[in-house]
Structure 1
Amino acid sequence: MTAHAPIVTIASRAEHVQRITTPAGLEAWLVESHAVPLVALEFAIRGGASQDPCEKPGLATLLASTLDEGAGPYDARGFHRAIDDLAIHIGFGADRDAISGHLQTLSRNVDKAFGLLKLALNDARLEAGDVARVRSQLAAELKRDANDPDSMASKAFREAAFPNHPYGRSVRGDLASIDTLSREDLIALRERLFARRDLKIGVVGAIDATRLSELLDATFGGLALQNDLAPVPEIAVANVGMREIVDLDVPQSTIRFGRPSITKHDPDYYAVVVANHILGGGTFTSRLFREVREKRGMAYSVYSHLNEYDHCPMLIGAAATKNERAGEAIGVIQEEFRNFVAGGPTEDELDKAKKFLTGSYALRFDTSTKIASQLVNLQLDGFEPSFLDERNGKIAAVTMEDCQRGAKRLLGDGDLLVTVVGKPAGV
């Protein structure tokens, strides 16, 4: 259930963010709006798949996938029926650096909704039969991925980019170990990760700060105060300049490419954002799209984007083309990288990129769930609510000199780590 009406239409977004500290010491960011009778909550607990034991990849994903499979007095079917009967949406997920969750409910059902969320977080049953069922579902997905060119290319890139590092492992695990993940493993990981420390919460909707504080303490206050995270080393994309081919008898080559980037707190970050948009992030307007697809007809899509893991900012991109043109396509991509470093953008490219990036920013705030998610992401990234008003100004302030400098920092000598799945010619 998603609210499609804007929550607020204001000149300042930040001034509507209330920073709440509950009696139990929890912090949450709230945008209170009674325009629609809905409440949306997003939260994240730092420490996702990067906390999986090295011999048990996929454990955080399995944990997130089983939290709503029965909790407290409800078995799996009873829990799902309880949320469905009241049109409540509760879900969980895991990525590399966090386990996240969301809740959406009509305001009249807010007490029951938070009560069910509390049960899932604090009293999930994790019964052996339910764990086995969800584990088999993940195994089926992994089997499909094992012969899917996109998944294979991503896996090859990940393993080459992050050797001997948690980021090199699959978030969803692997077929060799998925069946070894047990209920005891899930309980142990939950005890390590689920804590009030590093818990980030964003709430949007028809609820005031006092009532929200009560509900948050009731829901999250029972978690341990401290987590027990294993240190994750900082890492840069490795093997830049390498080409790795995974042989697969298909008519098309699937390509992944990437290199190191810079963090969101670097002074040149917004220059890099603009530079990447011009190069490969602008989809139909980017240089890569123009050179690879429009001029040469080598690929239906080609793109690059910035991917900021907690411990490794990076540029990553993708394309797919006929096997016989794979080497040519990679050459064109790399040539465009080097040309961009050497010559920078045109004034027209810079102007259009900044207008698009500032104009499209509002689309991140057109539903209650999106706003709550933005609030959580800002907290995870270490920004203040004022960023909501400052971000577009930072984009608009990027000059030609800034963009050229950002391109050089992002693209360096133009070398890339490239992985290709298929039977590519000329690689």
Structure 2
Amino acid sequence: MNLAETATRTATSPTQAQPVATTGGIEAWHVESPIVPMIALAFTFEGGAAQDPEGKAGCAQMLARLLDEGAGDLPSDAFQERLAARAIELSFHAGPDAIGGSLKMLLKHADEAVDLLALALAKPRFDPDSVERVRAQTLAGLRYQQNDPGVMASRRFFKEAFAAHPYGRPSSGTTESIAAITRDDLVAMHAQILGRGAVKVAAVGAIDAARLTEALNRSFGALPEAGPLRAVPHTTVQDLGRRVVVDLDVPQSVIRFGMAGVPWRDPDFIPAYVLNHVLGGGAFTSRLFQEVREKRGLAYSVGTSLVSHRAAAMTWGYTATKNERVGEALAVIGDEIGRLISDGPSDEELQKAKDYLTGSYALGFDTSTKIAHQLVQIAFEGLGMDYIARRNDMVAAVTQADIRRAASRTFADGKMLVVAAGRPTDF
């Protein structure tokens, strides 16, 4: 029997995920769903841009972009034609702490899709013409971004927030670092990161446990054990209270601001998540949206989010406003943070935040691909297979005391690192 044969009908809820393991030590979380004859696979390898060689930022991102640019005996064009002929969707990406990817295919093409994934993972070619094409595309993108205030503000923010740390380097690299990356660098990083013991996998769709075990062996079984990763030291946001300008001749300044955070694996993450929803994560209902945009018309958009990396966490925010109103916008943002520090949210605000966060959670699981990506991220964070089932109860249980504790850890005294790309006049 091959992978394209029929699957047993089981529940399709992500809360029904089951563990699957191969004799070679590859583990996956599995949700069987025979309703649509498709399979979605998501996977993540430990180690990402934080492992870039010194002076060669962007290496992990180039590696991810090159994995499907030819593999085994198939050069780039032939490999892509094989994917297109079967409507197989294969992609790779790199983040600060991981290189990951996804595979989506019709059940009848599962065997060929799995074989192509296995080639891309274990036998990428890194042909010179492909390397130079991806390098040229990356450099063109970097040059274009030099005129993008949002990109320049974000890059400078991370450089200042995590100075002398791997997280302070741009994951897409610089024109100098991209030019310095060699094929040998790519081969070495591939051997370092893409290994059997470093991968988390989730599979959703019309495939049973036996067929998935076979697919895991074929996809990942040929990989060697990954090489040792360099230790990434834990760090926090630096220079709180400092304001930095990236000089760009534009009429509107793009602003990035940040302070301490709580990692996803921390018991206080859920209270911090609810608190962030009240401050700036709640789209149209958040305090910052109401005060900065609706009441004062200072900005079109404003918001905050929680960032959780392996070795750092932060609360970070964004907005953009006229150069002459930057100081006013930052004052309003600071005032709202100060009010949450001193008074916290009202009981009504807290309840509305919890109601929204619990009610909207299911929207992140409305496709097989979304379910697979959510599951693999939860596995990567080590939160446990029952996290999805537990998550809403944890949100609903958040109290005002939890909010105050989270505020003391994230907001502290209210000082922020702020970067503005533009020419603010009252900064």
Q: How high is the TM-score relative to the length of structure 2?
A: 0.96
Residues 22 and 217 of structure 2 are in contact (CA less than 8 Å); yes or no, is this contact kept in structure 1? yes
Residue 107 (1) aligns with residue 91 (2): no
Residue of structure 2 in register with 1:143 after alignment: 143
AA in 2 matched with 1:106: L
Residue of structure 2 in register with 1:64 after alignment: 64
Residues 204 and 372 of structure 2 are in contact (CA less than 8 Å); yes or no, is this contact kept in structure 1? yes
Alignment of 1:116-265 (within 5 A): 116-265=116-265
Moved over 4 A (4+): 7-10
Residues 260 and 409 of structure 2 are in contact (CA less than 8 Å); yes or no, is this contact kept in structure 1? no
Residue 384 (1) aligns with residue 394 (2): no
Residue of structure 2 in register with 1:419 after alignment: 419
Q: Structure 2: how far apart are the matches of 1:349 and 1:9?
A: 36
Q: Structure 2: how far apart are the matches of 1:77 and 1:334?
A: 53
AA in 2 matched with 1:252: Q
AA in 2 matched with 1:270: I
Residues 11 and 32 of structure 2 are in contact (CA less than 8 Å); yes or no, is this contact kept in structure 1? no
AA in 1 matched with 2:110: V
Q: Deviations over 1:292-325 (max 9, x none)?
A: 1111110000100001011101101000000000
Residue of structure 2 in register with 1:296 after alignment: 296
Residues 32 and 206 of structure 1 are in contact (CA less than 8 Å); yes or no, is this contact kept in structure 2? yes
Residue of structure 2 in register with 1:342 after alignment: 342
Count, aligned residues = 419
Shift of 1:425: 1.8
Residue of structure 2 in register with 1:319 after alignment: 319
Q: Structure 2: how far apart are the matches of 1:309 and 1:274?
A: 19
Residue of structure 2 in register with 1:3 after alignment: none
Shift of 1:374: 1.1
SS of the equivalent of 2:420 reads: strand
Residue of structure 1 in register with 2:18 after alignment: 18
Shift of 1:262: 1.4
Structure 2 unmatched runs, 5+: 1-8
Shift of 1:264: 2.1
AA in 2 matched with 1:356: Y
SS of the equivalent of 2:360 reads: helix
Q: Structure 2: how far apart are the matches of 1:322 and 1:266?
A: 38
Q: Deviations over 1:86-141 (max 9, x none)?
A: 01001101010000011000011111000000111111111000100011001111
SS of the equivalent of 1:197 reads: helix
Residue 399 (1) aligns with residue 408 (2): no
Residue of structure 2 in register with 1:267 after alignment: 267
Q: Structure 2: how far apart are the matches of 1:233 and 1:105?
A: 39
Residue of structure 2 in register with 1:331 after alignment: 331
Q: Structure 1: how far apart are the matches of 2:151 and 2:293?
A: 22
Q: Structure 2: how far apart are the matches of 1:64 and 1:411?
A: 36
Q: Structure 2: how far apart are the matches of 1:180 and 1:226?
A: 24
Residue of structure 2 in register with 1:354 after alignment: 354
Q: Deviations over 1:209-239 (max 9, x none)?
A: 1111112112211111243201111000111
AA in 2 matched with 1:341: I
Residue 94 (1) aligns with residue 94 (2): yes
Shift of 1:8: 8.6
Residue of structure 2 in register with 1:4 after alignment: none
CA gap of 1:420–1:8, structure 2 versus 1, over 3 A, is farther
Identical aligned residues as a percent: 47
Residues 14 and 365 of structure 2 are in contact (CA less than 8 Å); yes or no, is this contact kept in structure 1? no
Residues 57 and 171 of structure 1 are in contact (CA less than 8 Å); yes or no, is this contact kept in structure 2? yes
AA in 1 matched with 2:332: V
Structure 1 unmatched runs, 5+: 1-6
Q: Structure 1: how far apart are the matches of 2:215 and 2:253?
A: 52
Residues 197 and 227 of structure 1 are in contact (CA less than 8 Å); yes or no, is this contact kept in structure 2? no
Shift of 1:274: 0.7
Q: Structure 2: how far apart are the matches of 1:123 and 1:213?
A: 21
SS of the equivalent of 2:219 reads: helix
AA in 2 matched with 1:119: L
Q: Deviations over 1:327-385 (max 9, x none)?
A: 11111111110111101101221111001100110011100011111111111111111
Residues 61 and 94 of structure 1 are in contact (CA less than 8 Å); yes or no, is this contact kept in structure 2? yes
Q: Deviations over 1:47-68 (max 9, x none)?
A: 0000001210000000100111
Residue of structure 2 in register with 1:364 after alignment: 364
Shift of 1:80: 0.6
AA in 1 matched with 2:262: I
Q: Structure 1: how far apart are the matches of 2:10 and 2:175?
A: 46
Q: Deviations over 1:154-173 (max 9, x none)?
A: 01101000010110011111
Residue of structure 1 in register with 2:6 after alignment: none
Q: Deviations over 1:248-298 (max 9, x none)?
A: 111001100001111223222211111110011001100011111111110
Q: Structure 2: how far apart are the matches of 1:188 and 1:399?
A: 49
Shift of 1:9: 7.5
Shift of 1:79: 0.6
Q: Structure 2: how far apart are the matches of 1:196 and 1:24?
A: 8
Q: Structure 1: how far apart are the matches of 2:193 and 2:55?
A: 18
Residues 254 and 319 of structure 1 are in contact (CA less than 8 Å); yes or no, is this contact kept in structure 2? yes
Q: Structure 1: how far apart are the matches of 2:26 and 2:221?
A: 8
CA gap of 1:236–1:79, structure 2 versus 1, over 3 A, is same
Q: Structure 2: how far apart are the matches of 1:167 and 1:54?
A: 13
Query: How well do the aligned residues superpose, as a CA RMSD in angstroms?
Result: 1.3
Q: Structure 1: how far apart are the matches of 2:218 and 2:277?
A: 44
Q: Deviations over 1:378-401 (max 9, x none)?
A: 111111111110000000001122
Residues 263 and 309 of structure 2 are in contact (CA less than 8 Å); yes or no, is this contact kept in structure 1? no
SS of the equivalent of 1:384 reads: coil
SS of the equivalent of 2:176 reads: coil
SS of the equivalent of 2:150 reads: helix
